[in-house]
Amino acid sequence: MRKGFSLLEILLVLGIMTLFFFPLLSMISSGLSVSEEIEKTTTGLQLAQEKIETIKDLPFGSITFEARSAVAGFPGYEREVVVSSPETDLKQIEVKVYWLIRGLPADISLNTFVVNL
């Protein structure tokens, strides 16, 4: 009586293991990709919110348009501020943040109003 496994048995086990591991690896890879996307989106949202809060602390007359430019300390992120005046003593502020996710452009936008009292 022989002890051990034949080559056919080993190949059969390897084939079965391969069928189970490839989908598992694919799910792990997809999960990591989604995690990166969520992290970048959250950072973009935080940068937009931070700018909104900074603008709210400015005097009404100092709130002006800011061209799209890189965000210091956050490589790969750009931000711009668009200001419009729908009425006297009222400004609508839109902060847009831009970045890339897997080479594709992504952005987020936050809006608020500031009143001159």
Domain ranges of the chain: 7-115
Q: What is the pLDDT of residue 1?
A: 60
Is the pTM for the entire model greater than 0.85?
no
In this model, does residue 4 exceed pLDDT 80? no
Q: Return the number of other C-beta atoms located less than 10 Å from residue 106's C-beta.
A: 14
Q: What is the mean pLDDT of residues 25-52?
A: 86
Closest of 54, 41, 62, 45 to residue 104, by C-alpha:
41
Strand order in the sheet with 90-101: 66-70, 78-87, 90-101, 104-115
pLDDT digits (tens, 9 = 90+) for 56-89: 999 999 999 999 999 999 999 999 999 999 888 9
